[in-house]
Amino acid sequence: MEINHISAGDPVAARLQEICTVFRIPGRLVEYEQITCGHINTTYKVVCESGQGDDKARIPYIAQRVNQYVFNEPVQMMRNIDLVTEHIMSKQPQSGREGRRYRLHYHHTAERRNYYVTPDNEFWRLTNYVDESVGFSATRNPKVLHMVGKAFGQFQAQLVDFDASQLVETIPNFHNTRKRLETLFAHVEEDPCGRCGEVAEEIEFLYVQRDRCSELSRSYELGLLPPRVTHNDTKANNVLLDKDTLEPLVVIDLDTVMPGLAAYDFGDAVRFAANNAAENEPDLSKVSLNLDLYRSFAEGYIQSTANFLTKEEMATMASGALTITVELASRFLDDYITGDRYFMIGYPTENKVRARSQIALAKDMIQKFEEMDRIVRETALKVRG
Ligand code: GN1
Ligand code: MG
């Protein structure tokens, strides 16, 4: 990532300095770099320098501009995050500098708000940067997968007694796969950008999968599976691990913490981290589910959740993986055919490429489905003894 040293007349630097000042960060901005792994918000690591001589300190932070097209209730979202982080902290009190490694601390403005709206209506927030940490977008290291599973499992365990009715559903039906597919097919009828012809095969595949992949949403609506407080965006790079021991430090990106199904958190994590290729890999021959990595994740996750997840929930994990992969394919495809307004793209057809890549992964999961299910059941039996 390119590090920018501050120069006069750089509008990004001026905006970031304004953000640091409003959040009462001591010193002045000396450096920033954009972090580009998210598809929604715009994120920067900023470094501020304060003090003189031996007292001179350079402290990093994360500043983020929230995408208000996606999150149209950002104040409610910040309130959700506050409630969830407080609940987690009440279970693992840690103070001082060391404590900051284990939590996201949102800085406050003079008005005691954990967000700032600029005069031109941008929505910003600022947190500590977790030192000596590492996050993985791609890895074949089974230990990393195990630790990521452990982290997301612990996250759910910490929230098992959190009163979900306090949370506002900031994106209604976020993981309602049935509705996502219905929306896609409605847009296919309209074909607003004339792009559907290019993706006829993909639309057909998703159409064939619609019943199978609507089952979890239906069971949830009927109350057949328990609602949990879920993270809803369990990509491996949303966990920070200790850079030496690889033990989990903190789960980040709490924007979509809402009530949901455990199987979606499990499924989204393996969709991303146990894929032999990147989420947007154009060469489909490289895309497949790596069952060894899947097993490592499942072991870490189930060890932290076995004492509260029900047998019925365990039986839905493999289905969660296939369902969320089909769901994300439908979301990428929907964005492509409606003109790329939701996900940030690096080139014009990226959403189409992402959708195809996720469909290739879903096809491979269908082949490996029995094995995926068996691994979860066996691991649960082993852990429960
Ligand atoms: C978006 O931008 P990021 O990485 O936090 C999306 C997720 C998708 C993910 C796919 C709010 O997450 O649902 O799974 O892209 N977040 C939102 O990479 O839509
Ligand atoms: Mg996210």
**3-state secondary structure at position 228:** strand
Q: Is 38 in the pocket of ligand 1 (CB under 6 A)?
A: yes
Q: Are 105 and 61 in contact (CB under 8 A)?
A: no
Alpha-carbon gap, residue 358 to 333, rounded angstroms: 10
Alpha carbon nearest to ligand 1 atom 3, residue:
38
Go through the chain and tell me how many residues it has: 385
Which residues sit opposite 45 in a β-bridge? Answer: 33, 62
DSSP state for residue 364 in the 8-state scheme = H
Ligand 1 pocket test target in 71, 175, 235 with most atoms within 8 Å of CB: 235
- Checking if the pLDDT of 98 tops 80, the result is no
SS in 3 state form for 151-213?
A: HHHHHHHHCCCCCHHHCCCCCCCCCCHHHHHHHHHHHHHHCCCCCHHHHHHHHHHHHHHCCHH
Ligand 1 near 39 CB (within 6 A): yes
Q: Which atom of ligand 1 is nearest to the CA of 279?
A: 18
Q: State if residue 35 touches ligand 1 by the CB under 6 angstroms criterion.
A: no
For residue 52, report the distance from its CA to the centre of ligand 1, in Å.
42
From the CB of residue 267, how many other CB atoms can be counted at a distance below 10 Å?
28
pLDDT beyond 70 at 256 = yes
Mutate to test the pocket of ligand 1, among 39, 41, 183 (most ligand atoms within 8 A of CB): 39
Name the residue at shortest CA distance from atom 7 of ligand 1: 233
At 152-193, the pLDDT tens digits run 999 999 999 999 889 999 999 999 999 999 999 999 999 999
**Which residues have their alpha-adjacent CB atom under 5 A from ion ligand 2?**
233, 253
Q: Is the confidence at residue 8, as pLDDT, over 90?
A: no
SS3 string, 101-147, reads: CCCCCECCCCCCCCCEECCCCCEEEEEECCCCEECCCCCCCHHHHHH
DSSP, collapsed to helix, strand or coil, labels residue 301 as helix
Which pLDDT tens digit goes with each residue over 210-251? 999 999 999 999 999 999 999 999 999 999 999 999 999 999
Token representation of residue 17: 């300095």
Identify the pLDDT of residue 93.
Answer: 64
The alpha carbon torsion through 251, 257, 262, 263 (nearest 10 deg) reads -90
Separation between Cα atoms, residue 175 and residue 315, nearest integer Å:
19
| Residue 327 CB partners (closer than 8 Å, separation 6+) | 175, 177, 180, 181, 213
CA pair distance 277, 361, nearest whole angstrom: 9
When pLDDT is averaged across residues 114-119 and rounded to a whole number, the result is 97
* Category of 131 on φ-ψ map: left (φ > 0), alpha (ψ -120 to 50) or beta: beta
Ligand 1 mutation pick, 40, 62, 266, 328, max ligand atoms within 8 A of CB: 40
Mutate to test the pocket of ligand 1, among 233, 256, 331 (most ligand atoms within 8 A of CB): 233
Cα of 234 from ligand 2 centre, angstroms: 8
Taking the alpha carbons at both ends of the chain, their separation in whole angstroms is 46
Tell me which residue of 298, 228, 293 sits closest to 261, measured CA to CA: 228
Distance 183 CA to ligand 1 centre (A): 18
pLDDT tier at 89, thresholds 50, 70, 90: confident
Q: Please, which residues bridge with residue 49 across strands? A: 28, 58
Mean per-residue pLDDT for 43-63? 94
Q: Which atom of ligand 1 is nearest to the CA of 232?
A: 13
Confidence of residue 385 (pLDDT cuts 50, 70, 90): confident
Cβ of 256 less than 6 Å from ligand 1: yes
Give tens-digit pLDDT for 261-301.
999 999 999 999 999 999 999 999 999 999 999 999 999 99
Q: Give the residue from 171, 167, 301 showing the smallest Cα distance to 228.
A: 167
Identity of the highest mean pLDDT range in 7-11, 34-38, 149-153 = 149-153
HSE at residue 137, side-chain half, CA atoms within 13 A, is: 7
Least confident of 33-47, 84-98, 237-251, 363-377: 84-98
The pLDDT confidence band at residue 61, using thresholds 50, 70 and 90, is very high
Query: Would the CB of 279 count as within 6 Å of ligand 1?
Result: yes
Ligand 1 contact, 231 CB (< 6 A)? no
DSSP for 232-246, please give it: S---GGGEEEETTT-
- Which ligand is nearest to the Cα of residue 71, counting in written order? 1
Considering only CA atoms, which residue is closest to atom 15 of ligand 1?
39
Q: Which of 48-57, 239-248, 283-292, 351-360 has the lowest mean pLDDT?
A: 48-57
Q: What is the pLDDT of residue 226?
A: 94
Q: Does the C-beta of 265 come closer than 6 Å to ligand 1?
A: no
- Report d(CA 109, CA 154) in Å as an integer: 31
Mean pLDDT value of segment 311-338: 98
Atom of ligand 1 minimally distant from the CA of 171: 11
Q: Which ligand is nearest to the CA of 77?
A: 1
Q: Is 80 exceeded by the pLDDT of residue 94? A: no
Return mean pLDDT, the chain.
Answer: 95
- d(CA 284, CA 319) in angstroms, rounded, equals 22
Q: Match 């491996």 to its residue by tokens.
A: 236
Report which bound ligand comes closest to the CA of 39. Answer: 1
What separation in Å is there between the alpha carbon of 227 and the centre of ligand 2? 20
